[in-house]
Amino acid sequence: MPDKPFVINDRRKFTADGELRHDTPSAPTPEPTHETPAAEVAAEAPAVGGPRLVTAPDEVPPAEPQAEAGEESMGSAEDAADQLPALTADQIEQVKRAYDDTLDRLDTAIRSQNLGAEQPPPITFQSVVQTLFMQALMMLGGAAEPGQPVSVDPMGARQMIDMITAVVDKAKGNLSPDEEKFCESALFELRMGFLDVTQRLARQAAARAGQGMPGAPGGMAGGPSIVR
């Protein structure tokens, strides 16, 4: 079998002198391929567990306005009393009897360990007002030692005064002459103390503000603490 001759094709584009060769076979032009859009491929693909192409609508509808939280909770505090379960007379009596029995056992245990200890006085309307009065007086600086700076809480004192006023107003018509006199004296003293504290604080604030003005006399140094 005769040997087939070898055919050598010189594919170099340049000659030995560096000139461009014109007989070089050009590279084959690739045939154009038709690309299928991704949307069509996704539409033709079967629905399997893999990822899917999700197309969004051209226009997104506006979200519906949500009601404010304040509107939902509005009136919840006002209707709290209506939501409480109604108590029967038997339930109230049973709880009161159990409470009184527990107090008796507690008092007996205290007296057995402290021989000679006196039983605390019963709680009365006047003692309730007295407790609120002392708390308001402390907030107005009435419990400070002489010569020491006083720490006051005008807003807290105001709340205590308003509480005493509400209690006294609810009890009108059921108070004895002594109880009415005590409540009037307590409120008068607390209101006078409140006016004194707020006026002192206002004067101290004005004095501190005047220190920064040219030519103004020097005021009281320090914070709005009251020293008696």
Domain assignments of the chain as residue spans, ordered by start = 155-212
User: Picking from 43-57, 138-152, 206-220, which range would have the lowest pLDDT averaged per residue?
Assistant: 43-57
**pLDDT of 33 above 70:** no
Q: Which of 190, 196, 197, 194 is nearest to 130 (CA)?
A: 190
The 10s digit of each residue's pLDDT in 120-133 is 788 999 999 999 99
Q: How far apart are CA 129 and CA 138, in angstroms?
A: 14
Confidence of residue 154 (pLDDT cuts 50, 70, 90): very high
Helices and strands per DSSP (H, E), number in the chain: 7, 0
Amino acid at 196: D
Distance of CA 163 to the CA centre of its chain: 25
Task: With a cut of 90, say whether residue 136 has pLDDT above it.
Answer: yes
Per-residue pLDDT at 80: 64
What would the pLDDT profile of 55-95 be if each residue is shown by its tens digit?
444 444 444 444 444 445 445 555 666 777 889 999 999 99
Closest by CA to 152, choosing from 189, 208, 195, is: 195
Mean pLDDT of the chain: 74
Residue given tokens 């690739």 in the structure block: 30
Cα dihedral angle (187, 189, 190, 191), rounded to 10 degrees? 80
Q: What is the pLDDT of residues 209-220, one digit of tens each?
A: 876 555 444 444
Question: What is the pLDDT, as a whole number, of residue 83?
Answer: 76
Q: Which is more confident, 2 or 118? A: 118
pLDDT given for residue 218 in this prediction = 44
Mean pLDDT of the 24-40 span: 54
| Residue pointed to by tokens 């914070």 | 223
